[in-house]
Amino acid sequence: MKLSNNRYMWLLSALSGLFMWLGWPDMPFVFLLFIGFVPILLIEREVAKQHGSAGGLILFEHIYVAFLMWNALTTWWVTLASVPGGLVAIFANAFLMTLPVLLFHKIRLRLDDRAGYAAFVAGWLAFEYLHHNWELTWPWLTLGNGLAKFPELVQWYEYTGVFGGSLWVLLVNLLIFFVLKDAPGKKDQAKTRQAVSKKTAILALATLLLPAIVSALIYVGYTDEGEQEEIVIVQPNIDPYADKFGGMTAEQQFKRLIDMSVEAITPGTDYLVWPETALQFSLWVNRLSEHKAVQTLQEFVARRPNMTIITGIYAYQNYPDGQGASATARHFRDGRCCYDAYNSAIQIDTSGVIAIYHKSKLVPGVERMPYPQLFGFLDKMAIDLGGITGSLGTQTERAVFFKNDKTGIAPVICYESVFGAYVTEYIKNGANAIFIITNDGWWGKTPGHRQHLRYASLRAIETRRSIARAANTGISCFINQRGDILQATRYDQKIAIRGRIAIRSGLTIYARIGDVIGILASIIALFFMLAFSLRLMTDRKAPSRQ
């Protein structure tokens, strides 16, 4: 396949961005993800032919436009919270996406096609793995997430996690590109190329269909495991812009939650789940039981001894005289040192012990300034979404809330639900079910809250754990162990829902091994970078491959 001029390369850039957007949740055209990178590969091939090693800037321009379109069309809603912050995220993430493609281009020219295309797959997976694990983390557009709308296709995530999906998407794209690349050209090459193209096409089709068929068979044969427990989820529908941080008092919000809970619970209710930061009071970690709202909840469960409450709160930790202060600790307004602020979850039951967990995967630029030891002075630039601003405190361990030393609940707070390996840490610590508490109202009635919901289905498959998802507003629901979304509420709906979920034990393969695909890909990518560097040093005058 030959591109005639520069206009076609710009067309390919646009097609790549459009394909990736149209294939992403909550769009129904998931098959487009499997051809979304083909235009990128065609552009790289043409740039290499026309410009050799001098075409890096031209390649960057074209692929940056493609990735910018993908980011902007898919995650434009991040600008609703902050236009400058959202635009920085979109433009910066598009730039980061160009780096593995540029690296692949350089390696292919300096080494050979086989090394280059292997580096393309490994480099992209390594980029995604990094994006899950550094403090500038933004794994929203991990390719494996793009399949979340169709859990029937990815039941094998219980073995691979989302990186298995990313690998699948990349391999199919690469094989389809090879089919186009090997398509017959000149007459004397027609028979040979036709044979190669046919074999590659069969391989591409098999690579596309076999994982989907295996997944469908697992999906049809899977039923939830474990004893059933009754869960009540309250979605109070308090507008985060108009009411949550000013329009309604903390007491009014608390009363709404109590009133809705009383109407929904039954004598058989095991858990009552309220959303992220449902309690708007200032609660100090070492004095939780002294606050009137907490005491009210303790009295509430005392009258219903079978029931346990899990809710989101804002929490604070005091460091008198600065002793034990963390890197995120801040000064009081009068200049005294110091305290940490947390986005937390607590469990209240009849034991008298209040379990607490502090959210630890924080949104960059909103809940924490990346690398506070270096950039703590930029904390004042954090995006203000109401409530606490600046870098929040975290904890190192994933706390599991246990009920009667039996049932373990993973309290996953909002953004944390996007991180598969992170969630498996709760499972390894004994969690039998996952409760996601969130506040998706920041993003309005946009694809943002629907994408966030879909990603939760992947956590259910990876861990084979049932999920109860409580949103302040957005979508509250139950998710079974094969990723089906059940009893989903509507956006902007004040409602409480009641359902039963299975409480399961045991670890999936993915829960045991984590993101091994991402780790191996990172090692392979580093190997190619080393080989490239050595070749560059020893063979600077070698002709570029075209």
| Residues 62, 10 contacting (CB under 8 angstroms) | yes
Instruction: State the burial class of residue 109 (Cβ atoms within 10 Å of its Cβ: 0-12, 13-18, 19+).
Output: buried
How far, in Å, CA of 189 to CA of 185, rounded?
A: 6
How far, in Å, CA of 183 to CA of 189, rounded?
A: 10
Strands (DSSP E) contained in 206-348 are 227-235, 269-273, 279-284, 308-318, 330-331, 337-348
Please tell me the predicted confidence (pLDDT) of residue 323.
80
Give, in order, the Cα–Cα distances in Å from 235 to each of 70, 267, 409, 460.
Answer: 32, 20, 19, 21
Give, in order, the Cα–Cα distances in Å from 477 to each of 42, 219, 469, 487, 495.
Answer: 42, 20, 5, 5, 11
Q: What is the pLDDT of residues 414-472, one digit of tens each?
A: 999 999 999 999 999 999 999 999 999 888 899 999 999 999 999 999 999 999 999 99
Q: For tokens 């997430």, what's the residue?
A: 145
C-alpha angle with apex 111: 105 to 113, nearest 5 degrees?
65
pTM value is 0.92
C-alpha angle with apex 441: 440 to 444, nearest 5 degrees?
110
- Beta strands 227-235 and 279-284, pairing class: unpaired
Please tell me the predicted confidence (pLDDT) of residue 295.
97
* 3-state DSSP assignment of residue 346: strand
Give, in order, the Cα–Cα distances in Å from 295 to each of 300, 301, 311, 352.
Answer: 8, 10, 14, 10
Q: What is the CA radius of gyration of the chain?
A: 25
Please tell me the predicted confidence (pLDDT) of residue 430.
97
Please tell me the predicted confidence (pLDDT) of residue 336.
85
Please tell me the predicted confidence (pLDDT) of residue 544.
53
The domain 227-504 having CATH identifier 1.10.260.40: the answer here is no
Tokens of 203: 């391989």
Q: For the chain, how many residues are written?
A: 546
How far, in Å, CA of 408 to CA of 393, rounded?
A: 24
Residues in the chain with pLDDT values less than 50: 1, 546
Please tell me the predicted confidence (pLDDT) of residue 1.
46
Which candidate, 421, 425, 358, places its Cα nearest to that of 133? 421
* 3-state DSSP assignment of residue 524: helix
Tokens of 27: 């769009």
Please tell me the predicted confidence (pLDDT) of residue 193.
65
Domain boundaries along the sequence of the chain: 6-222+515-538, 227-504
71-86 burial, b if ≥16 CB within 10 A, otherwise e? bbbbbbbbbebbeebb
Q: What is the pLDDT of residues 90-145, one digit of tens each?
A: 999 999 999 999 999 999 999 999 999 999 999 999 999 999 999 899 999 999 99
Please tell me the predicted confidence (pLDDT) of residue 546.
47
